[in-house]
Amino acid sequence: MEDNIKCISTSCTLDCWDSCSIVAKVKDNKVLAIKGDPRNHVTGSFLCKKGMKHIDMMNHPDRLRKPLVKENNEWKETTWDEALDLVAYRLDELRKTYPTTALLHWNHGGNVGLLKNIESRFFNAYGGVTVPVGSLCAGAGNEAQRYDFGRPLSHDIKDVVNSKTIIIWGRNPMNTGVHMVPFLKEAKKKGAFIILIDPIETETRKLADFYIAPYPGTDGALALTIANVLIKEGLADNEFISKYTLGFEEFKEYVDQFTLEEGSSITGVPKEDILFVAEKYSRNKPSAIISGFGVQRYTNGGYTIRAIDALGAITGNIGIKGGGVNYNNRIMDDYVDYDFLLGESLRKHHRTVTRPKFADFLLTEKDPEVKILFITRANPITQCMDTQKMIKAFEKVEFKVTIDMFKTDTANLSDVILPCRHFLEDVNVICPSACHNYLNLCNPVVEPDPWVPSELWIFNELAKRLNLDNFPIKDHYWWIGRVLKPLKELKGISLEDLKNGPIDIAGADRIPWEDRKFKTPSGKFEFYSTTAKEEGFEPLPIYKPISVRPSKEYPFYLLTPHTKDSLHSQHFVMTGEGEIPVAYINREVALELNLLEGDLAEVYTETGSLKCKIEYSENLRNDVIMIYEGWWLQKGGGVNKLIPEKYSGIGKHAAYYECVCNIKKVSH
């Protein structure tokens, strides 16, 4: 190695399926290059497009380095002391006057580092505040798998090479979670048959041998119809069902109504295709399902994932090599001291806000009214539904603080912005992803120059000013040692071990539920979930039609998936001058509407409108318009202007895809 060049181990902190291990080459406090760390056998040496932008993001000219305070609607740079004194003063005044739930702390997955959760301990030590529950991401599916299995657990993606049939359901690994692709290709080379189910014919179609496109929001009905075929055609694994599941008879009775005719009419999928998928999945075993988050972005989302899970249990494709219903992975729950990290026992007050109803809550809640908003790791103005309502709600709150690296749409509407570090400048722990079991430490790669603090420093400084008991003023390494105590005790893995690079804490050969001991109350896979019933939901994975269908007024479904170029809104800071969002539309339909490629058009819904540029797509159904989410409002975007506030019961999940729209040409 050339003189003075160091290789430092870290990890991508973006909220992505893959959690790539990274090696950074550093000289004289400059990052020369980053690449994947091949010691992580899943993510290997390559990083995706977003990963390759990390250095540019860290060095971006728009990055904030000094605290900003708004005065007379103008931003003014200030010192850290002044900014923190002001924030501490407002927090102190609030706790003297109101219950501390008059402060709402809004956070999300802008950075998935474990230590970012120290902010929750801060607010619990402060007295307990209003916090979000529910999800804008994967929550409905996580809850669904909690009901069925007791916890979401996925196979290491390497195991897919043992599968003979693979159903990729509503997921697009060619765009997001790209490290799955080499394993899918290897499985295919070994003879696996790949089925893609998605209303959009995504790039992943290139990997698939068979493709079906149900109407948006009908995946649950499709799964229940497949289930009925499996049962009726004698394709079920009766031994697995009788030994390891609960509630099969009730489930069987329920799915009886989902005949091929009925299923085909609900989903728009030909009967023979449904039959083909059922036969392939059950006869050509082991079979894996890899399910995405898109299928649960509807009001019926939780039930949909439950219906998909049921297919794994009916066919005995659970707890075996090459099987599984892979959705998410909560493997770290046993190894982190979340009680200490979050400090929930410290709080004296507590109130929750349902994430997809954020704007509504701010506008209507009176007991007490929200006086301070404190935002971390999130950009709700761009990312929450119904942007106009969100802005109105935001403006109603007296004092807003945002911690961010950039002046995002949310930061821009705040009163104080506190800049923070890029992950290459910070210390953190990245837990295993949905597709592998590597635990990573983010070692600090460079010192920020000019200096900016970590969020831990910010909360330490605020805690000192507020004299908070029970918020230890410590450094990152102390916190890591403390919260990963169970990992040390159960696995013997220490902080020093983690400093050297990624550690596989479970092994690629671990098969979830191999012992068939599920973490449900019955210890079985639960077709009939008493937990769901106790929590106010249907105990069976039922099908409920979504609330909208294309009509004369709004003839298109509006789907807003993730682009491969940005993690939600984060990378749209790089959007160039004059660029505008793109509305993708089926070529034939566009021509009927006299819309040419490059034309300007307004996409509109009952909630709002957005100006876009037209691009044709050969891969879209004729009843779908697609616009990628994440584009900033201040840069001419904001797809959530179009989307009404709706959510699923299970998981309180944002129903982003439950939206219909229309489109018309505009001249400017």
Residue 591's alpha-carbon distances to 199, 556, 599, 616, in angstroms, are 21, 15, 12, 9
List helix spans (H) across 104-255. 118-126, 139-148, 181-189, 219-232, 238-244, 248-255
Between 19 and 218, whose beta carbon lies closer to ligand SF4? 19
Tell the smallest beta-carbon distance from residue 111 to ligand SF4 (Å): 11
Pick 174 or 391: Cβ nearer ligand SF4: 174
Among 8, 9, 10, 18, binds ligand SF4 (CB under 6 A): 18
In angstroms, give the least distance from the CB of 11 to ligand SF4: 8
Q: Name which of residues 488 to 517 contact ligand SF4 (CB under 6 A).
A: none
Query: Of residues 8, 12, 129, 307, which one binds ligand SF4 by CB under 6 A?
Result: 12
Residue number, 346 or 508, with CB nearest to ligand SF4: 508
Instruction: Return the number of the residue (154 or 267) whose C-beta is nearest ligand SF4.
Output: 154
Name the minimum Å distance from CB 37 to ligand SF4: 11
> Please, what is the minimum distance in Å from the beta carbon of residue 630 to ligand SF4?
13
From the list 8, 23, 48, 439, which residue makes contact with ligand SF4 (rule: CB under 6 A)?
48
Both tokens of 589, joined, read 């339909």
Please state whether the peptide bond connecting residue 541 to the residue before it is cis, i.e. omega within 30 degrees of 0. no
What is the number of H-type helices and E-type strands within the chain?
A: 22, 27
What are the tokens at 434?
């949905």
Half-sphere exposure of 209 (CA within 13 A, CB side): 16
CB 598 within 8 A of CB 587: no
Provide the strand spans (E) within 389-494.
399-403, 416-418, 428-430, 438-442
Least distance between ligand SF4 and beta carbon 547 (Å): 33
Residues 544-583 that bind ligand SF4 (CB under 6 A): 567
Site for ligand SF4 (CB under 6 A): which residue of 31, 51, 356, 501? 51
> Closest approach of Cβ 562 to ligand SF4, in Å?
10
Q: Which stretch binds ligand SF4 (CB under 6 A): 14-22, 351-359, 518-526, 549-557?
A: 14-22
Of the pair 224, 567, the CB lying nearest ligand SF4 is at 567
Query: Residue 388's closest CA among 102, 570, 610, 660?
Result: 610
Q: Which residue number, 48 or 83, has a Cβ lying nearer to ligand SF4?
A: 48
CA-wise closest residue to 427 among 43, 113, 119: 113
Closer residue to ligand SF4 (CB): 160 or 624: 160
Choose one: 44-52, 153-161, 300-308, 647-655; the region binding ligand SF4 (CB under 6 A).
Answer: 44-52
- Is residue 221 part of the contact set for ligand SF4 (CB under 6 A)? no
Is 9 a binding residue for ligand SF4 by CB under 6 A? The answer is no
CA distances from 546 to 50, 144, 215, 354, 641 (A): 33, 17, 11, 20, 20
Kindly state whether residue 14 participates in binding ligand SF4, applying the rule CB under 6 A.
yes
Nearer to ligand SF4, 16 or 184 (CB): 16
Asked if residue 47 binds ligand SF4 (CB under 6 A), the reply is: yes
What CA–CA distances, in Å, run from 136 to 50, 107, 304, 340?
20, 11, 17, 26
Give the DSSP letter of residue 365: -
Collapsed DSSP state (helix, strand, coil) of residue 375: strand
| Closest of 180, 155, 179, 177 to residue 509, by C-alpha | 155
Choices 8-16, 163-171, 515-523, 581-589 (CB under 6 A): range interacting with ligand SF4: 8-16
Q: Identify the residue among 16, 26, 140, 314 touching ligand SF4 (CB under 6 A).
A: 16
Reference 133, options 147, 143, 124, 121; nearest CA is 143
Which DSSP symbol is given to 595? P
CA separation for the pair 660, 26 (Å, rounded): 49
- Tokens linked to 118: 């120290």
CB under 6 A: which stretch of 45-53, 185-193, 248-256, 526-534 binds ligand SF4? 45-53
Q: How many CB atoms lie within 10 A of CB 470?
A: 13
Q: How far apart are CA 422 and CA 448, in angstroms?
A: 8
**One symbol per residue from 177 to 196: x for binding ligand SF4 (CB under 6 A), - otherwise; what is it?**
-x------------------
50 versus 280: smaller Cβ distance to ligand SF4: 50
Of the pair 178, 373, the CB lying nearest ligand SF4 is at 178
List b or e across 272-295, with b for residues whose CB sees 16 or more CB atoms inside 10 angstroms: ebbbebbbbbbeebbbbbbbbbbb
Residues 223/217, Cβ–Cβ less than 8 Å: no
String of contacts with ligand SF4 for each residue 431-470, x by CB under 6 A: ----------------------------------------
Among 37, 50, 53, 196, contact with ligand SF4 (rule: CB under 6 A)? 50
Assess 57 for contact with ligand SF4 (CB under 6 A). no
User: Distances in Å between the alpha carbon of 583 and those of 590, 604, 615?
Assistant: 11, 11, 6
Our CA angle for 428, 176, 142, nearest 5°, is 70
Q: Which is closer to ligand SF4, CB of 176 or CB of 605?
A: 176
Binding mask 137-176 for ligand SF4 (x = CB under 6 A): ----------------------------------------
Tell me whether the omega of the peptide bond preceding residue 368 falls within 30 degrees of 0, making it cis. yes
E strand map for 120-204: 130-133, 165-169, 193-197
Report, in Å, the least distance between residue 52 CB and ligand SF4. Answer: 8
In the region spanning residues 241 to 280, those forming contacts with ligand SF4, defined by CB under 6 A, are none
Rounded to 5 degrees, φ, ψ at 72 are: 50, 45
Which region, judged by CB under 6 A, interacts with ligand SF4, from 15-23, 135-143, 385-393, 525-533?
A: 15-23
Nearer to ligand SF4, 50 or 357 (CB): 50
Tell me the residue nearest to ligand SF4 as measured from the CB. 51
Q: Which is nearer to ligand SF4, 349 or 568 (CB)?
A: 568
Here the tokens at position 634 are: 């201040």
**Which range of residues in 10-18, 365-373, 640-648, 657-665 is near ligand SF4 by CB under 6 A?**
10-18
Please provide residue 303's backbone torsions phi and psi, each rounded to the nearest 5 degrees: -65, -35
The residues with which 133 forms a beta bridge, in sequence order, are 354
Instruction: Tell me the CA distances in angstroms from 453 to 76, 193, 224, 461, 479, one per residue in order.
Output: 19, 50, 52, 11, 17
CA dist 552 → 268, 534, 663 (Å): 19, 41, 12
- Give the residue with the Cβ less far from ligand SF4, 42 or 625: 42
Q: Which residues bind ligand SF4 (CB under 6 A)?
A: 12, 14, 16, 18-20, 43, 47-48, 50-51, 178, 567
